[in-house]
Amino acid sequence: MVKPTVHDIAKEAGVSLATVDRVLNARPGVREKTIAKVQAAVEKIGYVRDTNAANLARQKLYRFAFVLPEGPSQFTDTVKAGLGEVVSSQLVDRVAIKVLTVPSYDPHAVVRSLQTINAARYDGVALMVPETPQIRDAISHLKEEGLAVVTMVSDLPHSTRDYFVGVNSIAAGRTAGLLMGRFLPGGGEVLVVTNSLRSRDSLERRLGFDAVVAEGFPKLSVLPTVESFDDPARLPDVIKDVVKTRPNLVGVYSMGFGNTAVLSALRETGRLSDLTVIMHELTPAVRQALVDNEVAAVITQNVGHLVRSAIRVLRGLCDQQPIYDAQERIRIEIVLRENLPY
Amino acid sequence: MVKPTVHDIAKEAGVSLATVDRVLNARPGVREKTIAKVQAAVEKIGYVRDTNAANLARQKLYRFAFVLPEGPSQFTDTVKAGLGEVVSSQLVDRVAIKVLTVPSYDPHAVVRSLQTINAARYDGVALMVPETPQIRDAISHLKEEGLAVVTMVSDLPHSTRDYFVGVNSIAAGRTAGLLMGRFLPGGGEVLVVTNSLRSRDSLERRLGFDAVVAEGFPKLSVLPTVESFDDPARLPDVIKDVVKTRPNLVGVYSMGFGNTAVLSALRETGRLSDLTVIMHELTPAVRQALVDNEVAAVITQNVGHLVRSAIRVLRGLCDQQPIYDAQERIRIEIVLRENLPY
DNA sequence: TCATAAATGAGGTACGTACCTCTTGTCAAG
DNA sequence: CTTGACAAGAGGTACGTACCTCATTTATGA
């Protein structure tokens, strides 16, 4: 009762090894009838391809480019770290990964960077970029070149990308809204801070947040979004102003960019300890704030999963294999002070 | 710049392939100096063992037994499903897994079952069993036979088991306590329900829960634990009684066994919608209750991770390889209505 | 019925590692 | 100077799959 091999299939189906190989690897030159015969044999003896041997034999190298926003973002750093770990730890093998950083606030620069990517040097691309028409065009171009394209974290649904890897931002916003409402049954005003609502995920988070609060927590009123527009220096004054002029402010929802700046601004107002703060993305600064009881909860996604999923999907696309959506779904994680991962 | 192989090490270190092999696989017959030379070469050229080739070459099969509690437990069912998935999906290969179910309430039966496990048929065992002296002895016996032994979900810290795979129950209890406190800033009485405090994880959850409530939420008072002692029929009456006689009851913390019974008992009291309910383990019934807004939050652990981790650890133990604790740490997940995994 | 193309067979090599045997070299104790 | 133990080299086979070439069979259409 050992594990059956291709030889066993050949014997069972009464064909040669070469034919079995052709069927298994979907190569041409086999009659329909013979294909069926081989597949029946596979079913019957329960053959499963030995991926170790297969990977060893097919000395293929997948060359993927990861396009990430540049600049001092702790979240992006985490993603880069995750990528580095994945590559070094051999958890995913036969992949060569090149990280390209682009100034995400400058769509033209992003496009220029995407234009340097071509089929001669890469088999696939993972993108963490904003949503603009130019970038959508650049993605179309990449697809025409024959590259596999996935978007990460923030999607570009109306582009020709093959797949999106990341959490449902609306659900993430809804989760934040639910937590905020549950934490503040007495009601009051909630401030929402983000980098820019031009970024799709921010917008969707806000939508989800508002929807849940409106449905379930009428005592809570959500103030208009404060945007930093990629300039963290802009935030402190606005935040301080809101905190000062709004005595009923009870909560702050920071949607994930410039969390460090948001935190220090809040600290300066001296009212941080009275506020229920919920943030996105578990970066080092946010983690510390959680430990210090400054932040009530963090909504995050596991970057390790994110990165591995992107790689799996890219590989699947290159091999024209089906993608199991269920396996690629990234969880919306809730982190409190007491369940901080080590 | 291709991936270096053992041949490259041999060339770099100026030794033969056989010697490199001896060093890499820690076989005897190599001088200290030579070992150092080879290791230096490995470092220098950045060699990493090709696990595909290694696994292919070493045609070893790991035979593991999983001992799980029998009976109609939704949680156990989930674990079994996870095991089935792992085995079938080839995510972990070269492992043959046999599931043994035991009546966990009968330590003697558990011991008898463990006695059927021997080194001739298995290389390792994963146990999900209660903590009794007899079972500890049985574990010692398994270790003497030379088997790798890991405990899952609930630990037996004073046994000779090699490793524990699961969450820190105290932290899980603390997380539940923190959520309960945050959800109920007005204070009131909280009922705690469990199967039995004889089970180590239940006891620790309770400890963690109480600690956080005492530290941070003085307005909350935790009532004595209600135990079902493996008899779900016992619960309804007690629960109904408490709910009836305690007008200040605001929350219920169910620590993970018989959640279905707890839920239906609470439903019958008609006060479920006024209560903040927190439960452990995301089973189908609990999931539905979450969707229906009957349960506020669920603390759970990813059984997929749990099972894969157990297998990884068992394999590492068989190979006498170091175990990376950080990788094997199971997260304490918080699930609300809005971040339910699909 | 034969030419031609398509389908299949036979047999090989390669991937990188594990593990085996047999041989040669080295060095020190007797 | 031998003996023996140990270190190291040389060279092999095996794992299961991918992919290649070349020969041969079978089917198809004129």
Q: How far apart are CA A4 and CA A23, in angstroms?
A: 16
| pLDDT at site B153 | 92
- Over residues A176-196, the mean pLDDT reads 94
Q: How far apart are CA B301 and CA B166, in angstroms?
A: 8
The SS3 call for residue A93 is coil
Percent of chain B with pLDDT strictly greater than 70: 97
In terms of average pLDDT, the best of A73-82, A306-315, A331-340, B47-56 is: A331-340
The answer to whether residue A229 scores a pLDDT higher than 80 is no
The answer to whether residue A82 scores a pLDDT higher than 60 is yes
Selected for mutation to probe chain A from B5, B6, B52, B333 (highest A CB count within 10 Å) is B52
Q: How far apart are CA A73 and CA A305, in angstroms?
A: 19
User: pLDDT: is B59 or B103 the higher one?
Assistant: B103
Half-sphere exposure of A303 (CA within 13 A, CB side): 19
- B93 contacts on A by Cβ (under 8 Å): 50-52
| pLDDT at site B267 | 94
The answer to whether residue A92 scores a pLDDT higher than 80 is no
| pLDDT at site B89 | 63
B19-24 long-range contacts, Cβ below 8 Å, gap at least 24?
A: B24/B49
To the nearest whole Å, the CA of A137 is away from the closest chain B CA by 32
> pLDDT band at residue B223, thresholds of 50, 70 and 90?
very high
pLDDT tens per residue, range B248-259: 999 999 998 788
- Over residues B50-77, the mean pLDDT reads 86
- Over residues B1-30, the mean pLDDT reads 85
Q: Cβ–Cβ contacts within 10 Å for residue A342, how many?
A: 8
Closest CB to A48 among B51, B90, B178: B90
> By the 8 A CB rule, do B167 and B332 touch?
yes
To the nearest whole Å, the CA of A334 is away from the closest chain B CA by 6
A–B CB contacts, 8 A cutoff, strictly below: 93
- B208 contacts on A by Cβ (under 8 Å): 338
Does the beta-carbon distance from A174 to B338 stay under 8 Å?
yes
The answer to whether residue A320 scores a pLDDT higher than 80 is no
The SS3 call for residue A179 is helix
- A60 contacts on B by Cβ (under 8 Å): none
Task: Tell me the CA–C1' distance in angstroms for B195 and C13.
Answer: 63
pLDDT tens per residue, range B144-199: 998 999 999 999 999 999 999 999 999 999 999 999 999 999 999 999 998 777 77
Closest chain B residue to the Cα of A1, Cα to Cα:
B96
The residue count of chain B comes to 342
| pLDDT at site A313 | 92
Closest CB to B212 among A177, A326, A338: A338
pLDDT tens per residue, range A254-285: 998 788 889 999 999 988 999 999 999 999 99
Closest CB to A334 among B172, B212, B334: B334
CA B56 to chain centroid: 30
> pLDDT band at residue A1, thresholds of 50, 70 and 90?
low
| pLDDT at site A230 | 67
| pLDDT at site B247 | 93
Q: Look at strands A148-152 and A163-165 and give their pairing.
A: parallel
Name the average pLDDT for chain A.
90
| pLDDT at site A339 | 96
- Over residues A151-166, the mean pLDDT reads 94
CA dist B313 → A88, A312, B126, B316, B321 (Å):
20, 24, 10, 5, 9
Closest CB to B52 among A56, A186, A331: A56
Q: How far apart are CA A126 and CA A303, in angstroms?
A: 14
To the nearest whole Å, the CA of B14 is away from the closest chain A CA by 26
| pLDDT at site A321 | 74
| pLDDT at site B102 | 92
Q: Is any atom of strand C within 7 angstroms of residue A59's beta carbon?
A: yes
> pLDDT band at residue B245, thresholds of 50, 70 and 90?
very high
Task: Tell me the CA–C1' distance in angstroms for A17 and C10.
Answer: 9
Does the beta-carbon distance from B342 to A326 stay under 8 Å?
yes
Q: How far apart are CA B181 and CA A185, in angstroms?
A: 12
Q: Is any atom of strand D within 7 angstroms of residue B52's beta carbon?
A: no
Q: How far apart are CA B148 and CA B310, in angstroms?
A: 11
Question: CA torsion sign, B115 to B118 to B122 to B126?
Answer: positive
pLDDT tens per residue, range B91-118: 566 788 999 999 877 889 999 999 999 8
Selected for mutation to probe chain A from B339, B340, B342 (highest A CB count within 10 Å) is B339
Nearest by Cα to B110 from B58, B57, B62, B67: B67
Closest chain B residue to the Cα of A181, Cα to Cα:
B183
Q: How far apart are CA B193 and CA B255, in angstroms?
A: 6
Does the beta-carbon distance from A338 to B186 stay under 8 Å?
no
Q: How far apart are CA B1 and CA A336, in angstroms?
A: 45
To the nearest whole Å, the CA of B303 is away from the closest chain A CA by 14
Could you tell me the domains of chain B? Answer: 6-57 (1.10.260.40), 62-166+303-330 (3.40.50.2300), 169-300 (3.40.50.2300)
Closest chain B residue to the Cα of A331, Cα to Cα:
B341
